[in-house]
Amino acid sequence: MADYAGRLPVATPESQPYWDGLKEHKLMLPTCDDCGPHFYPRPFCPMPKCFNWDIKWMEASGKGKVHTFVISHQPIPPYNTEDNAPPYVIAVIELEEGVRMMSNLIIDDPYSTTVDMDVEIVYDDVTDEVTLPKFKPV
Amino acid sequence: MDQIRHKVAIVGAAETDDLGQLPHMSRLALHAQSAKNALDDAGMSLADVDGLLCAGAIPNEVAEYLGIQPRYIDGTSVGGCSFMIHVRHAVAAIMAGYCDVALVTHGESGRSGVDAPRGGSASSPGGQYEAPFAIGGAPTTFSIPVLRHFHEYGTTKEHLAHIAAATRAWANLNPMAMMGSHRRAPERGGGPITPQDVLNSRMICYPFNLLDCCVVADGGGALVLVSEERAKDYAKDPVYVLGAGEAAAHWMVSQMRDHTTADGYRIAGEAAYKSAGLGPQDIDHCMFYDAFTFTPLMAAEDLGFVPKGEGGPFFAETKTGPDGEVIYKSGPGGDFPMNTNGGGLSYCHTGMYGMFAIIESVRQLRGECGDRQVPNVNVSMAHGPGGMFASAGTLILSNA
């Protein structure tokens, strides 16, 4: 795991709870009492008429749907080895909570992916420090 | 809201001497050569310039490199449509008296990478929420909205392939076009292509095959703008700015509000139409930024040329010419002439292509386009996105 070749995120103070949650295999979303959760983490509610800075964190169900996707045939790390070769799926997942996030879909045949397919989260511990939220078909 | 209509004109427009693979030229040298060529086109000297607008460079970098000290600067750098936005800002600056002669420059070593910084911070939103999922530049991100559009409206890869074939047909009439018959032999992929060739080409990132994607090039381009009062004092016929719009809709493609509609296109387009007092029915010629085949389809829909969701069948409509040849909707002889330089798909794409779209609008309006000249072009639209449908800039230009 030490020689993970993909690009790694570096948290900011505002996003640290999100990445800490993933490390504990929890998908945490920032949420506003009036407007509900948002993605990606910001220390305020990004609804222009709200802009409330009293943000709480909630644990998401980890269930969602493929909103849209592509099938990359490019050997982009970490999909650049014999064991982990392209094609692979990059998807925008719409979570049950109504927010959307980019991820990868872990699926045997990328071309069996469909828009609106039901998926659930898979916690991919790519290094000792970083866990990425990925998804698989239900 | 017609304050800007016909107040400022483009009097110079040109690319670098060559486009394509230019490893002997750096990013800033491409800016400078473009500036030289656009000023020559206008019959002006660098000493006349007192406003400088550029993207992909800090205005001070370009000013120092050129050896000028402009009194108006704008470094809006939001991707390929930055130059449409620069023209809009130059109109306002000239009207306000902030400058008299505005120079807009683009230079990018997009292929050779000579002084071409790449990659963002791992702590930026893109670095945290998109980059870790093995996105690899525009083919893996500009493609993200497409399958949602297919799903909701029945758009197909065959529809998109017609746009590539039509655009290549224009490239074959442009001696500067990288993939046109003049510059590239058929055994190296140049010259005419059919929609089936597009579908048969190598898969890059589904739903985009190789021929759904733009070329990757080094090059640059520049524009010179002055007030309407001075517009006839220069070498070429002026091209007036009738309307202009801009918008910032999102930054990361995963956060696009609706993956089937570019909000930025709508906001920028509405402002451009309103300031010009015109609508889609008044536009004779369109330059719609085509980083990929899908990009101009979204423009045709969101700028009101075709109802939402009907762009696919619209562009896939063909007719047969007098010699039995296929005439594509947006190709030579078609009734929706678009991307007549050969587009980002087949002419040139440095990374921020919008400059070249504006240059072609100017040339069509001046009647300088030779074999590819569209008859009776009096009003042209140059429109593009920045990032992945993230920002947008729209210009409505006229020769009268």
Report pLDDT digits (tens) over B75-113: 999 999 999 999 999 999 999 999 999 999 999 999 999
Q: How many CB atoms lie within 10 A of CB B335?
A: 9
Query: How do A63-72 and B326-328 pair as beta strands?
Result: unpaired
* Any B CB within 8 A of A3 CB: no
Residues in A closer than 8 angstroms to B135, CB to CB, are 72, 76, 90, 102
* Distance separating alpha carbons of residues A106 and B133, to the nearest angstrom: 11
A28/chain B closest Cα distance in angstroms: 14
* Any B CB within 8 A of A49 CB: no
| Residue range B160-189: mean pLDDT, rounded | 97
Residue of A15, A38, A66, A90 to mutate, testing the B interface (most B Cβ within 10 Å of its Cβ): A90
* Any B CB within 8 A of A124 CB: no
Partner residue facing A102 (CB), from B127, B133, B139: B133
Most distant pair of Cα atoms in chain B: their distance: 59
The domain tally of chain B equals 1
> What Å distances lie between residue B382 and A45, B81, B97, B272, B289, CA to CA?
36, 9, 25, 10, 8
User: What's the angle, vertex CA B364, arms to CA B382 and CA B49, rounded to 5?
Assistant: 70
Residue of A12, A14, A19, A102 to mutate, testing the B interface (most B Cβ within 10 Å of its Cβ): A102
Predicted ipTM of the assembly: 0.97
For B255, the closest chain A residue by CA position comes to A100
8 A C-beta contact, residue B272 and residue B244: yes
Tokens of A111: 């071309």
Report pLDDT digits (tens) over B142-159: 999 999 999 999 999 999
Contact A9 B132 (CB under 8 A): yes
Report pLDDT digits (tens) over B5-61: 999 999 999 999 999 999 999 999 999 999 999 999 999 999 999 999 999 999 999
**pTM reported for the whole predicted model:** 0.97
Quote the mean pLDDT of chain B: 97
Contact B122 A102 (CB under 8 A): no
pLDDT grade for B194, boundaries at 50, 70 and 90: very high
* Distance separating alpha carbons of residues B252 and B145, to the nearest angstrom: 12
**Ramachandran bin of A40, using left for φ above 0, alpha for ψ from -120 to 50, beta for the remaining angles:** beta
In a domain, B42, yes or no: yes
Residues in A closer than 8 angstroms to B143, CB to CB, are 70
Helix axes B354-366, B82-96, angle to 10 degrees: 70
Looking up residue B100, the CATH number of its domain turns out to be: 3.40.47.10
* Distance separating alpha carbons of residues A30 and A36, to the nearest angstrom: 8
Report pLDDT digits (tens) over A61-77: 999 999 999 999 999 99
A115/chain B closest Cα distance in angstroms: 7
Give the domain range for residue B40.
8-114+216-398
B225/chain A closest Cα distance in angstroms: 37
- Torsion sign, CA atoms B204, B208, B212, B215: negative
For B142, the closest chain A residue by CA position comes to A70
What residue spans define the domains of chain A? Answer: 16-137
Give me the percent of chain B exceeding a pLDDT of 70: 100
Contact A12 B131 (CB under 8 A): no
Contact B125 A103 (CB under 8 A): no
Most distant pair of Cα atoms in chain A: their distance: 50
Residues in B closer than 8 angstroms to A68, CB to CB, are 144-148, 151, 259
8 A C-beta contact, residue A95 and residue A64: yes
* Distance separating alpha carbons of residues B14 and B348, to the nearest angstrom: 13
In a domain, B315, yes or no: yes
pLDDT of residue B2: 62
**Ramachandran bin of B194, using left for φ above 0, alpha for ψ from -120 to 50, beta for the remaining angles:** beta
* Any B CB within 8 A of A131 CB: no
pLDDT grade for B119, boundaries at 50, 70 and 90: confident
Report pLDDT digits (tens) over B342-367: 999 999 999 999 999 999 999 999 99
Q: Residues in chain B, how many?
A: 400
Which of these, B112, B87, B102, B106, lies nearest to B34 by C-alpha position?
B106
Residues in B closer than 8 angstroms to A8, CB to CB, are 122, 132
* Any B CB within 8 A of A116 CB: yes
Size of interface A-B (CB pairs under 8 A): 114
Over 60: is that where the pLDDT of A89 sits? yes
Contact A132 B131 (CB under 8 A): no
In a domain, B378, yes or no: yes
Contact B136 A72 (CB under 8 A): yes
Contact B130 A102 (CB under 8 A): yes
pLDDT of residue A2: 54
For B252, the closest chain A residue by CA position comes to A102
Over 70: is that where the pLDDT of A1 sits? no
